[in-house]
Each structure stands twice: as C-alpha cells, then as structure tokens.
Amino acid sequence: MQRIRLRYTKRGRLRFTSHRDFQRAFERALRRAAVPMAYSAGFTPHPKVSYANAAPTGTGSEAEFLEIALTQVRDPEQLRALLDESMPVGLDIIDAVEARTSGLADRLTASVWEMTLNGVAFEDAEKAVAAFNAAESVEVQRRTKNGVRTFDARGAVADLQAVRPQPDMPGGEPCAILRLVVRHVTPAVRPDDVLSGLHAVADLAPPVPAAVTRLAQGLFDEESGTVTDPLAPDREAAPAALPTAAGTAAATAPEGPAA
C-alpha cells in the first residue's frame, strides 16, 4: 500500500463543523475523486484514514493532518488537487506528501494558536499576559463527561504574547490578539483553558467569544521555541528525481571541436 499524508484547513463558517462532519465530507470526497482506497477487514469495511489531533469544534485551523492508505500508487500533488476540488470551500486540502517515515502523530507535540479578542484593549490583554506568564501555575476548571476537572493551564504554555492588531479595528472598537504556543499534554490544554487562566489571574473577560485559529501544529523545538513542519521529514526522505533521457544524453554527449 501507498500512504499519503494530507494537511487541510477549517476556515470561515466551516470552523463550526465537528470532526464527525469533516469525516463524512472527506469520505464523500474520496468517492467523488475515485481514490483507490484501502479498506479495513471485517463485516463493515471502512476506508483506511487516520486522523491526528483534530482541532475542537468552533476553532479554525490552518494545520490539520490525516493519513490515507491506497491500493494503487498515485502522485501526491495530483491526488491533493482532486480531493480539494471535491471538498467544500473552507475545508481545503493544501498539502500532500507520500509517507516515507513513521510516527506522524508522534511529531505533533505542540500547536501555535491565535486568539482575537474583540472588545478587549491591547493594554489590558498585555497586563493579563504578563500576569499569566509570571505565575508558576494557573489552575482552571473544565466540565467533562465525568464531572468538573481542575488542572494547571500554565505548564503547557511554552509562549504567550499579546499582539496589537494592524490595522486597527474599524469604528475604533478595541481589539487584542493573543499568540500562544501550547504543548500537547495530558490532560490537553486548549485555548479556551488559557482564556480561563487569564480570567483567573487578571480578571480578563472578553465581552464576546474569542475567534480562535490554529496556525501551525508539529514538533516543538525546545531550543528555538518554534513548531516545525511535521511533513518535512517525509519530504527530506523522498528520493532525488531521476534525470530525464534528454538531460542524460546532454550530459554524456561528447563535446564538439572548439570554435
């Protein structure tokens, strides 16, 4: 089997689609594009699709990843284009590589998030961020199916900054942007947990829900503090392109007499 890894987005109104909604749309796209999918065994075979760390419902994303298994070899870029044409606008397939390494999920150790806080002055956001970063721990609560759970939101945050929007919001409405790098830990710390932490340490409470977008997802580099592209190892492992027949002939042809 050939394995292809894809990067896709959740943009605009489609940020409100659930992971199950995306799965249904993607499986329909596989059928429309006539992708030669490999299927699981058993009484109810399913196409072999592996999803990795999907973003929560209601958040946008520029960096969602999945892997598919094929029974026939396909060019990754051509396959990407066919699938992208078959998906709703906003659920865009933006990158594809052949899987040549193992452990894609193991390379998703952190995410870069952006939160737009409409109605919050930049100075207020900056003060709250300073208080959060100065704290050794920030306990927050989240309701789960097993009841209310308390955990530390500070330890997972590798970086948190307040960014002044450019240009300013129309009509003079205050707005602040938060950029944060969050490690993938257990229990998972989500952007809304960080907002709860900002409320706990500095009483920061946006008047409207924050617009949250995942900008990147991948392996966290402790030295640089950056999140690297998880598909890069597959690109680097790809064999070099073979020379064409014309190029080979030109390279081996004897030189003519000097003028």
Residue 19 sits in a domain of what CATH number? 3.30.70.580
Do 224 and 113 share a structural domain?
yes
pLDDT of residue 252: 46
Do 100 and 53 share a structural domain?
yes
Host domain of residue 130: 108-228
- Confidence tier at 167 by pLDDT (50, 70, 90): low
Mean pLDDT, rounded, for 74-98: 97
Q: Are 175 and 118 in contact (CB under 8 A)?
A: yes
Mean pLDDT, rounded, for 37-51: 92
Q: Return the bridge partners of 178, or none.
A: 115, 162
Do 135 and 212 share a structural domain?
yes
Q: In whole angstroms, what is the distance from residue 156 CA to residue 236 CA?
A: 30
Do 206 and 132 share a structural domain?
yes
Do 37 and 9 share a structural domain?
yes
Instruction: Report yes or no on 243 lying in a domain.
Output: no
Mean pLDDT, rounded, for 152-159: 96
pLDDT of residue 171: 60
Do 113 and 67 share a structural domain?
no
Q: What is the pTM of this model?
A: 0.87
Do 137 and 199 share a structural domain?
yes
Token pair listed for 96 = 């594809």
Q: Angle, to 10 degrees, between the axis of helix 19-32 and the axis of helix 76-86?
A: 110
Higher per-residue pLDDT: 98 or 255: 98
What 3-state DSSP class applies to 38? coil
Token pair listed for 67 = 């892997």
> How many structural domains comprise the chain?
2
H/E stretch holding 112 reads strand 110-118
H/E stretch holding 235 reads helix 232-236
Do 133 and 92 share a structural domain?
no
Do 118 and 84 share a structural domain?
no
Q: In whole angstroms, what is the distance from residue 30 CA to residue 221 CA?
A: 35
Instruction: Report yes or no on 251 lying in a domain.
Output: no
